[in-house]
Amino acid sequence: MSKRDDGPSGRPVPSGRLSRLGQFGRLAGGVAGGMLAEGARRMADGQRPRMRDMLLTPGNLLRVADRLSHLRGAAMKLGQMISLDAGDALPAELSEIMARLRADADPMPPAQLERVLTSEWGREWRIRFQRFDSKPIAAASIGQVHRAVTLDGRELAVKIQYPGVRESIDADVDNVAALLRVSGLMPPGLDIAALLAEAKAQLHEETDYRREGAEMEAYRNRLADNDAFVVPTMAPDFTTDNVLAMSFVEGVPIEDMVGAPQHERDRIAALLIDLTLDELFRLRVMQTDPNFANFRYQPSTGRVVLLDFGATRTVSTATARGYRTLLAAGLAGDGEAVKRAALDAGFLGEAAVRRHEAVIGQMIELIVTEASRAGPFDFADRRMVSVIRDQAAAVASDRETWHVPPTDTLFIQRKISGMALLAARLKARVDVRSMVAAHVGAVQPRGASPVPSALGSGLEPGGRAD
C-alpha cells in the first residue's frame, strides 16, 4: 500500500449487492456510450473502426479506472491485476490512466470508518489508544491503513477492511468477467471457469485478515536469519476478521529509489529477484501480489520492507518442477528444450505452437541468444522486450489459439513478471543468470550472461509481454 498525500475526504464504499450492481450498470453504459462516440468519430474521418480501438480509448479507460476505484474490493483488485500485468504493453497515455488503479483508492468517509471500527472493537474503542490518526496513510483495493499508538506505547499500522468487500467478491468477479466478454476483449469460446473460481478463492483468502496475520508471522519466521528484509509483527489483541493490526515499520516507497545510485538500485532489484527464486524453489511459499506498494525501502539500513501477505500461496511440487526444467533449459541454451518445457508445464498451448511455430521459435531463439551475452542483464534496455512483444502480438491476435495456463502458474508468473517490471522501473542491472543457476542447480557456461527467460525479459509464458 502506498502513502497518501492530502486527498479527498473519501467516498463511501458501496457495500450492498444492488448498489454494486448499479455501479457496474453505470460503468457498462458509460463505456458503451464512449464506444459509440469513438466509432462515430472514426467513421466521420473515413476510417473503419475496430471494436478494440473503440473500447481502449483514454476516455473509456478513465471511466473504468474511476468506477473500479469507487467500488474497491475485488473489482478494483482485478483491475489492478490487469493494469500491472499490462506493463509497457499499453501505450504510454493509457498506461498512465490504468496506473490510477495501482495508486491509492478513495478512503472511507469518517462516519463509515467509525461504524466499521465500532462494529469490530466496540463503542469505546478510542480509549485503547494514545493516538489514532483518522486520516489513512494508505488506501487500497480491500482496505485502508491508519497509524496509531496504543496505551502501552506500541506504534501500529492498522489495516481496516472496507464494508461489504468479502460478501461482494463472487459477484464482482463475475461482473468483471461479463464486462470483458461483452466488450469483445475475451473470445466467447475461451473457458476461464477454473480461473474465475481460483480468483474468487484467492480473494476470499485475502479478505480473511486473521489468516493474513498468520501468514505474515510465518513469513517473518522464514526470514528470521535474513537481515536484508523486514516483515511487520502482528498485534493479535487488535486483530479481527476485518482488522489487521501490525507493528508500524518506517520506509519509503520502493519506486522512490529510482534516483538512487546505480549500485543501490542493482542491489534492491537483486534482493527481490533472489527472494522470488527462493520462494519458488526453497521456501515453496510465495507472496504472489507484486504491487509495488507492497515493497518499501529503508535507505538508512538498506533493508527492504515486505508488506501485505493476503496473497501468499503454497508452491506445488509440479509447478516448481516445471519452472526448474524451463530455466535449466534456458541456462543450457537449448531452444527446443525450452519449448518442450513450456508445453509440458502448460505455459504454452499446443494450438499456438502448431499454428505459429515459426514465430514462437524466433521468440525463443532471441531469448536464448540474449542469454549468451556477457555481463549483467540490463533491465532498463527494453529493446528485446519490444521485439518479443511485437512477435507475440501476431500469436495473441489469433484467438483460436488462446490458452489459459494452470492457475498456480498464473499467480506465480504474475509475481515474477512484477519483479521484472520493478527492476525495469529501477533501471537495475542484475546478474540473473548466476542466481537462477544457484537455485536450479545448473552449471552456467563461463562468461555467460543472465538468462532473460520469463523473469529477465518481462515476457510471460504464453508470449505476453509484461
Q: Which long-range contacts (CB under 8 A, 24 or more apart) does 353-359 make?
A: 355/398, 355/400, 355/401, 356/394, 356/395, 356/398, 356/401, 359/391, 359/394, 359/395
> Which pLDDT score, from 0 to 100, does residue 196 have?
78
Q: 202-231, pLDDT tens digit by residue?
A: 888 989 999 999 999 999 999 999 999 999
Q: 384-429, pLDDT tens digit by residue?
A: 777 777 777 677 667 676 777 788 888 898 899 889 989 999 999 9
Listed in sequence order, the residues at least 6 apart from 249 whose beta carbon sits closer than 8 Å to its beta carbon are 157, 230, 232, 296, 305
Please check whether residues 259 and 233 belong to one and the same domain.
no
Paired residues of 148 in beta bridges: 132, 156
User: What is the percent of the chain where pLDDT is above 70?
Assistant: 66
**The three three-digit cell numbers of residue 206, written as one number:** 485475502
Residue 30 has pLDDT above 80, yes or no: no
Least confident segment among 29-38, 276-285, 409-418: 29-38
Confidence of residue 452 (pLDDT cuts 50, 70, 90): very low
> Which pLDDT score, from 0 to 100, does residue 386 have?
72
To the query of whether residue 431 is one of the catalytic residues in this protein, the response is no
> Which pLDDT score, from 0 to 100, does residue 259 have?
95
CA nearest 161: which of 124, 194, 113?
A: 113
> Which pLDDT score, from 0 to 100, does residue 261 have?
97
> Which pLDDT score, from 0 to 100, does residue 356 have?
81
Residue 35 has pLDDT above 60, yes or no: no
Please give the Cα distance from 162 to 133 (Å, whole number). 17
* 4 within domain boundaries: no
* 186 within domain boundaries: no
Answer with the residue of higher pLDDT: 228 or 102.
228
* 124 within domain boundaries: yes
Please check whether residues 219 and 262 belong to one and the same domain.
no
Task: Look at residues 54, 83, 102 and tell me which one is the last residue of a structural domain.
Answer: 102
Please check whether residues 362 and 434 belong to one and the same domain.
yes
Confidence of residue 88 (pLDDT cuts 50, 70, 90): very low
* 269 within domain boundaries: yes
Tell me what the pLDDT averaged over the chain comes to: 77
Q: Hey, is 131 helix, strand or coil?
A: strand
Split into its structural domains, the chain has a count of 3
* 214 within domain boundaries: yes
Residues 263/276, Cβ–Cβ less than 8 Å: no
Task: Specify the residue for cell string 466496540.
Answer: 122
* 187 within domain boundaries: no
Task: Tell me the H-state helices in 189-334.
Answer: 193-206, 209-222, 262-278, 317-332
Residue 11 has pLDDT above 80, yes or no: no
Task: Look at residues 216, 232, 247 and tell me which one is the last residue of a structural domain.
Answer: 247
**The three three-digit cell numbers of residue 416, written as one number:** 515474477
Least confident segment among 105-109, 317-321, 326-330: 105-109
DSSP conformation letters of 233-248 = -B-GGG--SSEEEEE-
Please check whether residues 230 and 117 belong to one and the same domain.
yes
> Which pLDDT score, from 0 to 100, does residue 86 have?
44
Residue 319 has pLDDT above 80, yes or no: yes
**The three three-digit cell numbers of residue 263, written as one number:** 549500485
Please check whether residues 297 and 149 belong to one and the same domain.
no
Please give the Cα distance from 373 to 423 (Å, whole number). 19
* 307 within domain boundaries: yes
CA nearest 63: which of 116, 100, 90?
A: 100
* 433 within domain boundaries: yes
Q: 431-441, pLDDT tens digit by residue?
A: 998 899 899 87
> Which pLDDT score, from 0 to 100, does residue 138 have?
87
Instruction: Name the pairing type of β-strands 285-287 and 303-306.
Output: unpaired
Please check whether residues 305 and 390 belong to one and the same domain.
yes
Please check whether residues 243 and 256 belong to one and the same domain.
no
Q: 324-345, pLDDT tens digit by residue?
A: 999 998 888 888 999 999 888 8
> Which pLDDT score, from 0 to 100, does residue 33 have?
45
Distance of CA 46 to the CA centre of its chain: 40
Answer with the residue of higher pLDDT: 73 or 290.
290
Please check whether residues 145 and 275 belong to one and the same domain.
no
Residue 232 has pLDDT above 50, yes or no: yes
Residue 402 falls in which region: left (phi positive, over 0), alpha (psi -120 to 50) or beta: beta
Residue 451 has pLDDT above 60, yes or no: no
Give me the sign of the Cα torsion angle 238, 244, 247, 250: negative
Q: 194-204, pLDDT tens digit by residue?
A: 777 887 888 88
Q: 132-171, pLDDT tens digit by residue?
A: 999 999 877 788 999 999 999 999 999 999 888 888 788 7
Residues 101/68, Cβ–Cβ less than 8 Å: yes
Confidence of residue 93 (pLDDT cuts 50, 70, 90): very low
> Which pLDDT score, from 0 to 100, does residue 19 have?
52
Task: Look at residues 102, 127, 152 and tell me which one is the last residue of a structural domain.
Answer: 102
Please check whether residues 320 and 418 belong to one and the same domain.
yes
Q: Hey, is 371 helix, strand or coil?
A: helix
Q: Read off the CATH number of the domain in which 216 is found.
A: 3.30.200.20
Least confident segment among 29-38, 242-251, 255-264, 351-360: 29-38
SS (H, E, C) 57-119: CHHHHHHHHHHHHHHCHHHHHHHHHHHHHHHHHCCHHHHHHHHHHHCCCCCCCHHHHHHHHHH
The torsion angles phi and psi of 378, rounded to 5 degrees, stand at -95, 105
> Which pLDDT score, from 0 to 100, does residue 77 have?
54
pLDDT (mean) for 4-33? 48
> Which pLDDT score, from 0 to 100, does residue 155 have?
98
> Which pLDDT score, from 0 to 100, does residue 231 have?
98
Name the DSSP letter for residue 300.
T
Please give the Cα distance from 185 to 199 (Å, whole number). 19
Please check whether residues 83 and 137 belong to one and the same domain.
no
Please check whether residues 371 and 464 belong to one and the same domain.
yes
Residue 442 has pLDDT above 50, yes or no: no
Q: Which of 85, 172, 274, 289 is catalytic?
A: 289
Please check whether residues 142 and 278 belong to one and the same domain.
no
Structural domain for 355, as ranges:
250-466
Confidence of residue 360 (pLDDT cuts 50, 70, 90): confident
**The three three-digit cell numbers of residue 303, written as one number:** 533493508
Least confident segment among 155-164, 177-186, 252-261, 313-322: 177-186
- Global pTM? 0.76
